[in-house]
């Protein structure tokens, strides 16, 4: 299924075209709850659907508007989890003790592809001019505490919230480690 506002989208698997579909040619019906629709169906004008037998590799969607390329995206089959990647939303925060940086933590294979089945327990260390404010992973049914120094990945992802210390500022060194994975490291600057 592809979500797009382009006029048409071409889908390819490992370089082989699976065809182009026009957005309004075949409306996709989605199951929904009774609070959305009495008949529990919703017709989406932004989704296109292909029936594709599973095959490892790269699935690529290319969107066209008035025949011109306007968007492209691809997803790859993940390999074995190999490393932790850390992506702070802000690399510079204020050193007054109230500023935060939200660090997305990803379990990736050796090529940098997100491993959506990974649920490794990730341990966090924060040193310098900041500290761990909270952790999360997006799993709405978890009973893990938010105030902790570790979190299990959910769908290959976790979140670390780093808070600045009140003071003169400086560097905040952030490390994430999990058994069997190359650790992730990043640095945030807390300044005045």
- Segment among 41-55, 80-94, 139-153 with least mean pLDDT: 41-55
pLDDT digits (tens, 9 = 90+) for 54-76: 999 999 999 999 999 999 999 99
pLDDT at position 3 is: 92
Q: What is the CA radius of gyration of the chain?
A: 21
Domain boundary among 76, 111, 133: 76
Domain boundary among 26, 44, 76: 76
- Identify the DSSP state of 27: P
pLDDT at position 45 is: 86
Let me know whether 109 and 186 are in one domain: yes
Let me know whether 186 and 107 are in one domain: yes
Token representation of residue 56: 């490892």
Cα separation, 159 vs 12, whole angstroms: 32
Let me know whether 90 and 180 are in one domain: yes
Let me know whether 35 and 113 are in one domain: no
Let me know whether 133 and 72 are in one domain: no
pLDDT, mean of residues 142-167: 97
- How far, in whole angstroms, is CA 20 from its chain's centroid? 27
**In total, how many domains does the chain have?**
2
CA end-to-end span of the chain, whole Å? 47
Find the CATH number of the domain harbouring 130.
2.60.40.10
Let me know whether 88 and 162 are in one domain: yes
pLDDT higher than 90, residue 147: yes
Cα separation, 86 vs 79, whole angstroms: 19
pLDDT higher than 90, residue 26: no
Let me know whether 109 and 14 are in one domain: no
CB-neighbour burial class of residue 138 (10 A; exposed 0-12, middle 13-18, buried 19+): exposed
The residue range of the domain holding 137 is 83-191
Q: Against a cut of 0.85, is the pTM above it?
A: no
Domain boundary among 76, 101, 132: 76
* Contact (CB, 8 A) for 25 and 34: no
């Amino acid at each position: 299924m592809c979500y797009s506002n382009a006029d048409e989208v071409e889908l390819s698997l490992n370089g082989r075209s699976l065809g182009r579909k026009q957005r309004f040619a075949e409306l996709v019906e989605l199951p929904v709850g009774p609070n959305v629709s009495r008949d529990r169906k919703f017709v989406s004008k932004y989704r296109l659907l292909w029936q594709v037998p599973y095959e490892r590799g790269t699935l690529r969607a290319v969107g066209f508007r008035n025949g011109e390329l306007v968007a492209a995206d691809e997803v790859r089959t993940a390999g074995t989890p190999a490393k932790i990647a850390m992506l702070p939303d802000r690399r510079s925060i204020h050193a007054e003790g109230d500023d935060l940086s939200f660090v997305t933590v990803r379990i990736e294979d050796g090529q940098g592809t997100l491993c959506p089945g990974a649920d490794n327990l990730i341990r966090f260390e924060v040193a310098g001019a900041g500290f761990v404010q909270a952790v999360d992973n997006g799993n709405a049914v978890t009973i893990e505490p938010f105030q902790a120094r570790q979190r299990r990945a959910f769908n290959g992802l976790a979140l670390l919230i780093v808070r600045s210390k009140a003071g003169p500022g400086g560097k905040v060194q952030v490390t994430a480690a999990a058994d069997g994975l190359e650790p992730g490291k990043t640095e945030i600057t807390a300044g005045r």
